[in-house]
């Protein structure tokens, strides 16, 4: 088994709540990664769960360009080593394992999106964090729309360009902020399994709003803290239906529909892994026709749960390093 070549040690920065611009937080668990303890907290004002301190945006950018997919392809879990990881590599490992996982997900997500927004060959679709272009491949096959992507990793980009003809307009989600001359371009913008990875999602979502046309659909799915509390080194945020709604509202989106699974008994027992059912909260939004006031809906469930969480044994998970 290869050992990973890791970049320089993690650079950290302090975070405050992106919804309230406040620093009034309570501890809500931690994970250990590469010898660093990454702590989570919940905002006492709105209930948003986030990592603080967190690796800087520049650090993450290099990580996504150079290491993220390499770790995934090798099935090097951040969680640890041992028999479980060895078995996992044998069963699900390598590029083909990852691609088939991506394809399976695309086959779930794309019919859901297309049932809410019909596309023609004149349509334009953007997938932010498109990886190997699996979702775009499926959309293109069904509608012949023109497909655009944002993706940091070179091998993922090359694969998506070659197989699907994805045109890239950025490396990381933050690059959307600087794009000019494409306002009102897209019929659908997708953030699938991506928003939780973005260090500063507000300017990114505001840029997405600008790039979306007036009838455009914003699709977001992200791990649901109530279903699967996805604390891990890649996730500066773990959203709930309420905190996702607060964020979209703060970025002048209007949620048309939000889909999520209620908490399960299994989750209440503190068993976050190996869930069989979908783990995501999904929101379909459009541009709000007026500029929203930010509505702070206090997320009392996340707040309550996080207080319990810090006492639970899975809050600290040893990394293989």
Q: Which window, 11-19, 109-117, 226-234, 269-277, contacts Zn ion (CB under 5 A)?
A: 11-19
Binding mask 79-118 for Zn ion (x = CB under 5 A): ----------------------------------------
Using the contact rule CB under 5 A, the part of the chain among 10-18, 26-34, 112-120, 222-230 near Zn ion is 10-18
> Is 19 a binder of Zn ion (CB under 5 A)?
yes
Pick the binder of Zn ion from 15, 38, 42, 43 (CB under 5 A). 43
Q: Residue 14's Cα: distance from chain center in Å?
A: 20
Comparison of 14 and 265: residue with beta carbon closer to Zn ion: 14
Task: Assess 45 for contact with Zn ion (CB under 5 A).
Answer: yes
As a whole number of angstroms, the distance between CA 229 and CA 224 comes to 7
Query: What token pair was written down for 306?
Result: 């996080």
The correct pick among 10, 17, 173, 315 for binding Zn ion (CB under 5 A) is 17
Angle at 64 between CA 106 and CA 10, to 5 degrees: 140
CA proximity to 222, closest of 280, 135, 262: 280
Bin 231: left if φ > 0, else alpha if -120 < ψ < 50, else beta.
beta
If you ran DSSP here, which 8-state letter would residue 249 be given? H
Tokens (6 digits) for 29: 């668990």
Our CB check for Zn ion shows the closer of 19 and 126 to be: 19
Q: Which stretch binds Zn ion (CB under 5 A): 39-47, 115-123, 129-137, 227-235?
A: 39-47
Q: In whole angstroms, how close is the CB of 104 to Zn ion at the nearest point?
A: 35
Q: Which of 4, 12, 20, 254 forms a contact with Zn ion (CB under 5 A)?
A: 20
294 near Zn ion, judged by CB under 5 A? no
Residue 316: CB minimum distance to Zn ion, A:
25
Cβ nearer to Zn ion, comparing 12 with 298 = 298
41 forms part of the interface with Zn ion (CB under 5 A)? no
**Partners of 192 in beta bridges:** 221
Dist CA 169 CA 172 (whole Å):
9
Give me the least distance between CB of 249 and Zn ion, in Å please.
13
Q: Which runs of consecutive H residues, i.e. helices, occur in 187-299?
A: 201-211, 241-250, 265-268
Q: Token match 């959203």: residue?
A: 239
Per CB under 5 A, the segment of 14-22, 30-38, 52-60, 102-110 that binds Zn ion is: 14-22
Q: Is 46 in the site for Zn ion (CB under 5 A)?
A: yes
235 phi and psi angles, rounded to 5 deg:
-115, 95
Which two tokens mark 266? 């299994």
| Distance of closest approach, residue 47 Cβ to Zn ion, in angstroms | 7
Q: Which of 281, 284, 298, 307 is nearest to 225 (CA)?
A: 281
Task: Name the minimum Å distance from CB 26 to Zn ion.
Answer: 11
* The residue to which tokens 């109530």 are assigned: 226
CB half-sphere exposure, 269, CA atoms < 13 A = 6
Site for Zn ion in 187-206 (CB under 5 A): none
Between residues 20 and 294, which has the closer beta carbon with respect to Zn ion?
A: 20
CB count within 10 Å of CB 19 equals 23
How many chain residues interact with Zn ion (CB under 5 A)?
A: 7
- Minimum distance between the CB of residue 239 and Zn ion, rounded to whole angstroms? 12
Give the long-range contacts of residues 87-93, CB within 8 A, separation 24 or more: 89/1
ω into residue 53 within 30 of 0, thus cis? yes
Tell whether residue 18 is a contact of Zn ion (CB under 5 A): no
The residue among 192 and 243 lying less far from Zn ion, judged by its C-beta, is 243
Contacts with Zn ion by CB under 5 A lie at 17, 19-20, 43, 45-46, 48
């Amino acid at each position: 088994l290869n050992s990973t070549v890791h970049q320089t040690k993690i650079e950290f920065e302090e975070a405050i709540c992106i919804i309230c611009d406040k620093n009034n937080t309570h501890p809500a668990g931690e994970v250990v990664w590469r010898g660093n303890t990454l702590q989570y907290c919940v905002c006492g004002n709105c209930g948003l769960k986030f990592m603080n301190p967190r690796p800087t945006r520049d650090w993450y950018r290099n990580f996504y360009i150079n290491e993220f997919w390499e770790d995934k392809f090798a099935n090097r879990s951040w969680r640890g080593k041992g028999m479980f990881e060895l078995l996992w590599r044998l069963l699900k490992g390598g590029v083909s394992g990852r691609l088939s996982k991506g394809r399976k997900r695309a086959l779930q997500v794309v019919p859901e999106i297309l049932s809410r927004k019909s596309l023609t060959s004149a349509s334009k679709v953007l997938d932010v964090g498109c990886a190997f272009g699996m979702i775009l491949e499926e959309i293109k096959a069904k509608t012949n729309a023109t497909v655009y992507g944002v993706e940091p990793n070179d091998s993922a980009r090359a694969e998506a360009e070659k197989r699907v003809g994805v045109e890239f307009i950025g490396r990381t989600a933050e690059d959307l902020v600087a794009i000019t001359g494409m306002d009102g371009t897209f019929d659908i913008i997708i953030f699938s399994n991506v928003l939780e990875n973005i260090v500063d999602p507000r300017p990114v979502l505001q840029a997405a709003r600008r790039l979306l046309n007036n009838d455009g659909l914003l699709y977001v799915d992200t791990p649901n803290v109530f279903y699967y509390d996805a604390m891990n080194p890649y996730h500066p945020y773990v959203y709930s239906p309420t905190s996702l709604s607060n964020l979209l509202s703060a970025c002048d989106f209007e949620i048309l529909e939000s889909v999520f699974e209620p908490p399960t008994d299994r989750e209440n027992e503190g068993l976050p892994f190996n869930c069989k059912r979908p783990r995501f909260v999904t929101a379909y939004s459009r541009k709000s026709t007026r500029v929203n006031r930010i509505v702070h809906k206090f997320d009392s469930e996340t707040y309550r749960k996080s207080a319990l969480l810090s006492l639970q044994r899975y809050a600290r998970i040893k990394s293989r390093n």
